[in-house]
Amino acid sequence: MPVSLVKESDVDVLVIGAGPAGLMCANALTQAGVNVRIVDKKPVKVEWGQADGIQPRTIEVLQSYGLAERLLKDGAQMHMAAFYSPGPNGGIARTARVKNIGHPTARYPFGMTLRQGSIEDIFLNSMASKGVEVERSTVPTHIELSTDDALLQDPQSYAVKVVLNREDVPDGMADKEIVHAKYVVGADGAHSWVRRTLGINMDGEQTDYIWGVLDIVPDTDFPDIRNRCSIHSTNGSCMIIPREGDVVRLYIQLTDADVRNVNTGRVDMSRCTPEKLLQTAKKSFYPYTMGAIGEVEWWTIYIIGQRVASQFSVNDRIFIAGDACHTHSPKAGQGMNASMNDTHNLSWKLAHVLRGQADFSLLKTYEFERRKYAQDLIDFDKRFSALFSGKPRTEHNQDGVSHEDFLQAFRTFGGFTSGIGIHYAESAIVNYNYQGLASGVAIGQRMGPQIVIRVADARPFDVQDLLPADTRFKILIFAGDLTEPEQREKLNLIALEMGKPEGFLEKYTPKGAARDAVFDIMTIGRSKKEDLNFTDVPDILLSHWSKVYVDDIDFTGTKGGKAYSTYGIGSAGAFVVVRPDQYVGMIAPLDRVKDLDRYFAGFMGQKRRGQGLWLYKP
């Protein structure tokens, strides 16, 4: 063995794995100003990967990082879903065309596809603008959590040791580095080295469903080739997911005979070719023609496995995220979305703890929120896959899956598949009190879109764009009609309360920092835009002229004016506190600034060990 060069270094967060979960994490932390490194064992990034479906909620999340533009420009959009069942003449016939995304509050009411390489580029470019790059050909070989209790109790200590090997150094010499990290995020995929090394189990099982995937430029007379399409035929099932340009992805149901070795019973990739997959697909499409123009872009076969990791963190120091902690069928297009949303959930919490703004215990909410979601995902996937892989109901098979069954399931699961229905349970950061004050703002769910008008310049804004993923908590003061003296008086009292030295604003905003460094306060009134002046809002609530909005229709007469009614907020108004990840943390009446103080006291600042407030409701 040649001599190794060993260096040692410190880092706040080390991210292992530069797929969607790892990149979302590294970019979020980079933008938050956190000291972060991200490594990947692959020498180059994946260009045309398996994961590429993007949910409506994920588009919202990317938009909250200012990154949706390119996605929306380059990706394919799926607005319509079409369903085909066995028709009268032995071929398929269309049974329905319906909207693809049923969720009523989707800001981007469509599914998207964009190849993984392009999605990763969006993050890579964003990080590069701050000087952070992925360190490739870098393999972790050892990970070790300190056993020193004092160290483990201190959120600022370098409690994790990781050994990294650089594999692309010349002359076969391994360039070894010992990294001391405060936190490690293992986003290293379904075969996660981090997970295996830590001995975390995957709970769940393999299914019997086998599917082939084929990306082609189709040559076809099939009229729904550019829609998300589910085909149940007597010759097998097939699903179409349109992709960028003229490419479509076909999911093709396979039988054991197609892929299993007759002797061993094991799946044998060599028994399958893209030509065979296409032949199988052709049968499902009859009487429509189906062929491929040019080369097959990409293909694979897979057996659905449905598993969730038994834990998502070790001592809130080492986290796993993405495929490393959940695997499931790709057909509902959830994989990459679940992965990116894991680290979207984790990143702001890490940033707050590392800055010393929030208590260490905040990190517990990551596993609490995301593991429950992953379990729900697997439950959904089991039901969806069974339906999808089932035989269609026909004259001769009355026990089969009917078109109505499938359409019903498609609609029922809409909130889930869109990603919008994700609902975090009650904890230190999700307080279910006062839900009635804003019945259309679901506590624990993401804040929905609505157009409001900025008072200073009458410019319409989507409320979601006032809630960027910038690690700040957003305090929305739905102040009612500010042309009424009573509501003005309420606002003055709020200003008075929030200015007190013992209040959350003074207490958790670092001395000398900008007034809106931790809490971004915005007032949303309810009157005509012509009748309100932004200069009427008390100074402490007005860190900038842009902080005052009104729920009114815009000058085109087509947008806005529905925020209070959609959010279910009455004329008395309400506080809505939105977490940095755009999820609603709490709601309170306007005369209860104290409830905000109490909410933030639950996780802001640093508690002494054993003195942290409750995190999980019994």
Catalytic site residues? 52, 243, 251, 330
CB-nearer residue toward a copy of itself: 121 or 342: 121
Q: Of these, 23, 78, 124, 324, which contacts a copy of itself (CB under 8 A)? A: 78
Answer yes or no whether residue 614 interacts with a copy of itself by CB under 8 A: no
Four-residue CA torsion sign, 449, 454, 460, 466? negative
The Cα–Cα gap between 250 and 226 comes to: 11
Q: Which of 458, 496, 514, 613 binds a copy of itself (CB under 8 A)?
A: 458
| H and E: helices and strands count for the chain | 16, 26
* Main-chain phi, psi angles of 156, to 5 degrees: -100, 5
Strand partners, 575: 477, 588
Asked if 53 contacts 44 with a C-beta cutoff of 8 angstroms, the reply is: no
Minimum distance, C-beta of residue 223 to a copy of itself, in the bound complex (Å): 4
530 makes contact with a copy of itself (CB under 8 A): yes
β-bridge partners, 10: 180
Question: Is-cis flag, bond preceding 287, omega within 30?
Answer: yes
Strand ranges across the sheet with 248-254: 92-99, 80-86, 228-233, 236-242, 248-254, 202-220, 290-309, 326-327
* Least separation in angstroms between CB 612 and a copy of itself: 41
Q: Which stretch binds a copy of itself (CB under 8 A): 4-12, 200-208, 217-225, 479-487?
A: 217-225
CB of 467 to a copy of itself, least distance (A): 18
Considering beta carbons, is residue 372 or 559 the nearer one to a copy of itself? 559
Q: Which of residues 101-130 bind a copy of itself (CB under 8 A)?
A: 101, 109-110
Query: Does the footprint of a copy of itself cover residue 539 (CB under 8 A)?
Result: no
Residue 555 contacts a copy of itself per CB under 8 A: yes
Instruction: Compare residues 244 and 268 and give the one whose CB is closer to a copy of itself.
Output: 244
- Should residue 8 be labelled a site residue for a copy of itself when binding is judged by CB under 8 A? no
Q: How far apart are CA 196 and CA 324, in angstroms?
A: 9
The reply to whether 457 sits near a copy of itself by the rule CB under 8 A is: yes
User: Is residue 562 near a copy of itself by the rule CB under 8 A?
Assistant: no
Dihedral-angle region of residue 520 (phi above 0 means left; psi in -120 to 50 means alpha; beta otherwise): beta
Distance, in Å, from the CA atom of 474 to the CA atom of 477, rounded to the nearest integer, reads 9
- Is the Cβ of residue 114 or residue 593 nearer to a copy of itself in the bound state? 114
Alpha helices in 176-273 (DSSP H): 193-198, 256-259
Q: Which of 42, 45, 97, 271 binds a copy of itself (CB under 8 A)?
A: 97
Closer of 148 and 246 to a copy of itself (Cβ): 246
Q: Which of 17, 53, 444, 460 binds a copy of itself (CB under 8 A)?
A: 460
H/E segment holding residue 416: helix 414-417
Q: Does the protein bind a copy of itself through residue 545 (CB under 8 A)? A: yes
Question: Residue 376 is encoded by which pair of tokens?
Answer: 């729900």
By CB under 8 A, tell whether 230 contacts a copy of itself: no
Separation of CA 207 from chain center:
26
- In angstroms, the CA 180 to CA 162 distance is 6
Q: Are 394 and 400 in contact (CB under 8 A)?
A: yes
Region of 26-34, 71-79, 123-131, 406-414 interacting with a copy of itself (CB under 8 A): 71-79
Using alpha carbons, list the distances in angstroms from residue 249 to 245, 398, 517.
12, 30, 45
Q: Which is nearer to a copy of itself, 246 or 404 (CB)?
A: 246
Total site size for a copy of itself, rule CB under 8 A = 36
Stretch that binds a copy of itself, among 94-102, 307-315, 506-514, 569-577 (CB under 8 A): 94-102
Q: Using CB under 8 A, pick the residue from 533, 571, 594, 616 that binds a copy of itself.
A: 533
- 147, 270, 556, 611: which one contacts a copy of itself (CB under 8 A)? 556
Lookup: tokens for 564: 């209070």
**Tokens matching residue 73:** 């420009």
One residue of 8, 246, 256, 489 binding a copy of itself per CB under 8 A: 246
Residue 69 binding a copy of itself, by CB under 8 A: yes
- Rounded CA separation 429/616 (Å): 10
Residues interacting with a copy of itself, by CB under 8 A?
69, 73, 76-80, 97, 99-101, 109-110, 221-223, 225-227, 242, 246, 456-460, 529-530, 533-536, 545, 554-556
